Amino acid sequence: MLVHQSLGTRGASAPSTMIEVSHLTKRYARHEAVRDISFSVGRGEVVGFLGPNGAGKTTTMRMLTGYLPPSSGTVAVAGLDVFRESVEARAKIGYMPENVPLYDDMRVREYLKFRAQLKGLRGSRVRERVAAVIETCGLEPVRRRMIGALSKGYRQRVGLADALVHDPELLILDEPTNGLDPNQIRQIRSLIRRLGESRTILLSTHILHEVEMTCGRVIIIDQGRIKASDTPANLTACMRAAGRIEVELKIDPDAASRALGEMNQVKKVQSELLDDGWTRLTLWVDSGTDARERVAALAAANGWPLRSVFRHQATLEDVFVELTRRD
């Protein structure tokens, strides 16, 4: 399945563009990590950038931030060419890599001050921005502590504060919740939501539930190519998984599979024998079809004990698996 559609998320008219990627390719010897991809991100959007390991996500993000040159193609951020106008473009970008490189022998406030100066801030502006990101990222309790003594959660917050310290218009976050516990993930998610109210965010993560709750649009990349670009709701609406029904009957699996497989709009039936003679049957039906009532009626007509019938609602995980599966 291929869904390639770019949607804005704010207002009736399309927002101005923050990221414009055109025919971007990256080759390593004979391997193409990124293959002629094009997409755009509107100003003010929060976009999830998803893909399996080795799909080209991190390579693409590094090219977007100017850390890695492309083999061909162009990237523009806020109208600035990332490679020809590198200094100006980078001033618009806050980048948090998957493994945040921090100086363990520096204190939090000292480190953020140092990073602000490296990014061109001077004088009172350094103090203002360091104080602002310490407050925004919840670092006040640890601002005087050595980075090497911080928990994983606080280290991630320091990395995010580093990405924010020069007040960029665009945040590019590569696995910002990597290695965090559920409470820490929830805190970072809440923080990203707040940041998305005033900035454009491109977010890469393997936690698809977080993307559904945080992002207005999703871009899925696999084997270096864009496979889908749409809202989570639109992607899940067109999935074949949306037409999947599970039913538990007390009947011979083969007999049930034959009977249910003859129903209109049923494309496939899979059975699994459970304990005490119960059988779980999974039915794949035409998209948008709800066959639960007909299944229950068939069970009643044949005198089959029916324990449950459930219509599966597609999730972003279903979309991801469908688009990136190898079979």
Residues 139 and 173 in one domain: no
Tens digit of pLDDT for each residue in 179-209? 888 888 888 888 888 998 999 999 998 888 8
Instruction: Please enumerate in sequence order all residues whose Cβ is within 8 A of that of 309, keeping only pairs 6 or more positions apart, or say none.
Output: 245, 246, 247, 248, 292, 295, 296
Domain limit, last residue, from 138, 163, 188? 163
d(CA 274, CA 269): 16
Residues 3 and 88 in one domain: yes
Residues 248 and 234 in one domain: no
Domain limit, last residue, from 238, 261, 296? 238
Residues 7 and 147 in one domain: no
Residue of 62, 28, 321 whose CA lies nearest to 174: 62
Q: What CATH number does residue 305 fall under?
A: 3.30.70.3100
Q: Is 99 exposed, middle or buried (0-12, 13-18, 19+ CB in 10 A)?
A: exposed
The lowest-confidence range among 19-33, 152-166, 285-299 is 285-299
C-alpha neighbours within 13 Å on the C-beta side of residue 299: 21
Residue 1 pLDDT > 50, yes or no?
no
Tens digit of pLDDT for each residue in 86-95? 999 999 999 9
Neighbours of 268 (CB within 10 A): 12
Q: How many residues does the chain have?
A: 327
Residues 159 and 199 in one domain: no
pLDDT band at 290 (very low <50, low <70, confident <90, very high): confident
Residues 1 and 71 in one domain: yes
Residue 2 pLDDT > 60, yes or no?
no
Residue 185 lies in a domain: yes
Q: Which amino acid is at 175?
A: E
Domain limit, last residue, from 238, 267, 298? 238
Residues 120 and 33 in one domain: no
Residues 61 and 190 in one domain: yes
Residues 144 and 286 in one domain: no
Residues 157 and 263 in one domain: no
Q: Which amino acid is at 213?
A: M
pLDDT band at 164 (very low <50, low <70, confident <90, very high): very high
User: What range defines the domain where residue 10 resides?
Assistant: 1-92+168-238
Between 18 and 267, name the one with better pLDDT: 18
C-alpha neighbours within 13 Å on the C-beta side of residue 233: 5
Residue the block writes with tokens 């948008």: 288
Q: 134-162: b or e for each residue (b if 16 or more CB lie within 10 Å)?
A: beebbbeebbeeebeebeebbbbbbbbbb
Residues 174 and 32 in one domain: yes
Overall domain count for the chain: 3
